[in-house]
């Protein structure tokens, strides 16, 4: 506990990855909405732009290129490949070492958080996209008690060094 004025005068390191504090190291950004509105497209674009070090949608600047990992657990590989080809036709490709894609159907993060953390540490991943949340656990994603183990596993895998973008269907 400290007086507010003392806190304001304190200096903390800048951990922002995206300008304006939109996303910081250890932070989470939630993309939520109905099924089929384009959350996966938006997430893929944000991750690709992060890997390239270009502003998100031409607005929010990325401080430096971020090694990014996209974990897709819902879309079939053929459909995801089509989406990736559309991106490649219309935009620059990030260096191979800056962007990775994991197709993990029915991936349970609680069971695999240790392996995921080791991979991200080994590869130097700074930003990870989880798409979508409801496919990464076996419970009700609108229940705090059911979702807590998933959130704890996500926090463990990411720790304070990495940030995440998480996709959530509001009507599943």
The pLDDT tens digits of the residues spanning 90-123 come to 778 888 889 999 888 767 788 888 888 999 999 9
| Nearest Cα to Cα of residue 155 among 121, 127, 113, 96 | 113
pLDDT in tens, 37-96: 989 889 998 999 999 999 998 888 898 999 999 999 888 889 889 988 888 887 788 888
Question: What pLDDT was estimated at residue 172?
Answer: 57
Q: Residues 26-44, buried b or exposed e (16+ Cβ, 10 A)? A: ebebebeeeeeeebbebbb
33/87: higher pLDDT:
33
User: At 18, is the pLDDT very low, low, confident or very high (cuts 50, 70, 90)?
Assistant: confident
Question: What pLDDT was estimated at residue 50?
Answer: 93
Question: What pLDDT was estimated at residue 59?
Answer: 85
State the average pLDDT for the chain: 87
The two three-digit tokens of residue 81, written as one number: 């490949």
Residue 15 CA to residue 130 CA, distance in Å, equals 21
The two three-digit tokens of residue 9, written as one number: 């005068």
Kindly calculate the radius of gyration of the chain based on its CA atoms and give it in whole angstroms.
17
143/2: higher pLDDT:
2
Once rounded to an integer, what is the mean pLDDT over residues 129-134? 87
């Amino acid at each position: 506990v400290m007086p507010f004025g003392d806190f304001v005068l304190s200096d903390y390191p800048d951990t922002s990855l995206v300008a304006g504090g939109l996303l910081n190291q250890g932070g989470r950004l939630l993309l939520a909405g109905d099924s089929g509105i384009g959350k996966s497209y938006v997430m893929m674009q944000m991750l690709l732009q992060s890997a390239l070090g270009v502003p998100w949608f031409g607005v929010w600047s990325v401080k430096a290129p971020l090694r990014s990992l996209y974990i897709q657990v819902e879309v079939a590989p053929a459909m995801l490949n089509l989406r990736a080809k559309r991106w490649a036709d219309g935009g620059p490709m990030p260096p191979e070492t800056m962007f990775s894609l994991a197709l993990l159907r029915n991936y349970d993060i609680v069971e695999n958080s240790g392996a995921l953390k080791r991979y991200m540490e080994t590869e130097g991943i700074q930003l990870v996209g989880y798409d979508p949340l409801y496919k990464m656990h076996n419970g009700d994603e609108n229940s705090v008690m059911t979702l807590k183990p998933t959130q704890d596993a996500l926090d463990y895998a990411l720790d304070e060094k990495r940030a995440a973008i998480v996709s959530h269907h509001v009507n599943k």
